[in-house]
Structure 1
């Protein structure tokens, strides 16, 4: 396991081997329990944040991270995510740091997927659709399944990304 970011509660995020590659994101709790976050898990958290802080703030913070994402982990971006999380209520800042770091790491995974044509845009389209087109969390995380990359690319381009 490659530890990427540790949090003050003793938990951390890491990459390890998954079903497809070595870019599977794991959340490791302080007791050592490891889980793989699902799109629906963090989409739900994003949705709930948008109800409290507003769609534009949450989506804007996500896009700032999205714009800084490429194929490699960047310590500057990890720090930027921590700083961003402090703009939310203090008692939520650790969970928001974990949330946005998880999404950052999953976008890097998408960018590293062999022969990808879409990369991180898949995550952005799902989050955009959930927040601005009122898709359910489940639908936003899954509606692209079975679509060709060209169809998804067209949807992204229509939305400006």
Structure 2
């Protein structure tokens, strides 16, 4: 069992635990006990569906608020702000809270990665490609594979982040 970071009203929870190369792998455990690390394609698909229901600009703008809260450490106030923000999504609040909290934790993991030059910007670029540039989920989740950090950094800078 890893370090539980956030528990949701439906009984599911998020934790950090040992992954393939460090102790900062995010795991989602459902109320029934099914535990797995969420994949980019999982939450990119859900973000796309939320954008269709609530508007691309709202979902992206709210993601950027989460991005701006993210540093190198988990902050309980930031987790609470994500929960409060998620309430704006009504019946989808727990789903949104879960997705944004996964992203928050994944971005912290990116920020903590040894020798990183991109940090959390790597997630923002993928989500920007998905929501703002409207590319398909699989392409948005995988387009940076094999790219050098300088090329990725240039793409981020071109988009203002």
TM-score over 0.5 for the pair: yes
Superposed displacement of residue 35, structure 1: 1.0
Query: What's the counterpart of residue 52 of structure 1?
Result: 53
Query: What's the counterpart of residue 130 of structure 2?
Result: 130
Query: What's the counterpart of residue 17 of structure 2?
Result: 16
Query: What's the counterpart of residue 115 of structure 1?
Result: 115
Judge which range, 126-135 or 13-22, deviates more. 126-135
Query: What's the counterpart of residue 78 of structure 1?
Result: 79
Counterpart Cα distance in 2 of 1:94 and 1:131: 21
Q: Please, which runs of 5 or more residues in structure 2 have no aligned partner? A: none
Deviations 1:101-147 (A, max 9, x none): 01111111111111000010010000001112121100001101111
Superposed displacement of residue 68, structure 1: 1.0
Please state whether the residue corresponding to 1:87 is helix, strand or coil.
helix
Counterpart Cα distance in 2 of 1:155 and 1:8: 38
How many residue pairs were aligned?
160
Superposed displacement of residue 30, structure 1: 1.7
Provide TM-score, normalisation by structure 2. 0.97
Runs of 4+ in 1 over 2 A off after TM superposition: none
Query: What's the counterpart of residue 158 of structure 2?
Result: 158
